[in-house]
Amino acid sequence: MLEWSDRHCRQFHRHITRHTWLYTEMVTTGSLLHGDVQRHLEFNPDEHPVALQLGGSEPADLAQCAKLGQEWGYDEINLNCGCPSERVQKGAFGACLMAEPQLVADCVKAMRDAVSIDVTVKHRIGINDVDSYEFMRDFVGTVADAGCSTFIVHARTAILKGLSPRENREIPPLKYEYAYRLKQEFPELEIILNGGIKTADEMELHLQHVDGVMIGREAYHNPYFMADFDARFYGDHARVNTREEILELMIPYIHRQLELYGNNGKGLRLNSVIRHMLGLMMGLVGARAFRQTLSDSKLLAAGKPEILLDALARMKTVSAFDRSADKPDAPV
């Protein structure tokens, strides 16, 4: 997710779940071929397994960028055929690529020829008023013939004109049955469902029909709901970090990042890391106080990662005056 799932966010999420696959923001081929490769591709070793999502439509460029991704150590290359933003459309990639399945197939083949790691595709179920199941099925079939075996299905149509990216994540109706049917028709393919999923119980239901589930906004806004993923979906019953332990683990990480990239205030800022953690206490008494502390411009300007402990302390103070501290409070 652009400006959301950067390496700091992924490092934070890795303290919650050890096995869940993490995906980068979409990185365009132009950014890698003509920009700062290290800035776009550097990631923390703890993030594995981690996939690099690329945006582009030129097979040769995508092949070169996929090769860079493998050289930097990514576990998977994912091609974005689902982003509906006008800026992305002007670059002739994202969801508009669903109208050109053979081009997508050529892109996949070029990337597969360039790397030995998996090449996957994320897509919508349709574009504009073309949203029949048959349209999506034919798109998947064409791309699968080029060697792609994993498809991540965002189960909404992408409206390329008239809706913002945010509206495109909310207004077009979800059609999970399209992904279910796709798995039935292509049992040899790995089909992963995405879109509007908010609970582990929902995930369990979907996994009766598809091979995997991708979570976007809920994982960002309510990250600790992933705390039981390792046990529930991966069979790893090792002890899970508490919220407080996650804060303590992030402090030395933030100190290192500021030392490496802070550049006396001209580079990385404290808020660049802290902002991803605002939802850690969602549903708990004092969560609002926690968020308010982490959003305090004066405290952030001081540049001290210990603001995390300050936020925790303020949250506990609020909880101390509430006998229902062990229950979710009013909307937070």
**Would you name the residues annotated as active-site residues?**
83
**Token pair listed for 2:** 């652009």
CA dihedral defined by 229, 232, 233, 237, rounded to 10 degrees? 80
CA distances from 279 to 13, 16, 245 (A): 12, 13, 15
**Closest by CA position to 57, among listed 112, 95, 5, 24:** 95
Q: Report CA Rg, the chain.
A: 21
**Annotated binding-site residue? 82:** no
Detail the DSSP E strand segments found in 175-264: 190-194, 212-214
**Annotated binding-site residue? 102:** no
Phi–psi pair at 49, nearest 5 degrees: -80, 135
**Annotated binding-site residue? 53:** yes
Q: Where are the alpha helices (DSSP H) in 223-322?
A: 229-234, 243-261, 271-274, 287-294, 297-301, 307-320
- If you ran DSSP here, which 8-state letter would residue 130 be given? B
Q: Please give the single-letter amino acid code of residue 76.
A: E
Q: Please give the single-letter amino acid code of residue 314.
A: R
Beta bridge pairs of residue 130: 127
Beta bridge pairs of residue 191: 151
> With contact defined as beta carbons under 8 Å apart, do 49 and 22 qualify?
yes
CA distances from 117 to 47, 75, 111, 222 (A): 17, 6, 10, 31
**Annotated binding-site residue? 122:** yes
**Annotated binding-site residue? 194:** yes
Number of residues that this document lists for the chain = 332
- 3-state DSSP call for residue 77? strand
**Annotated binding-site residue? 154:** yes
**Annotated binding-site residue? 55:** no
Distance CA 112, CA 132 (A): 29
**Annotated binding-site residue? 216:** yes
Binding positions for FMN: 53, 122, 154, 194-196, 216-217
Binding positions: 53, 122, 154, 194-196, 216-217
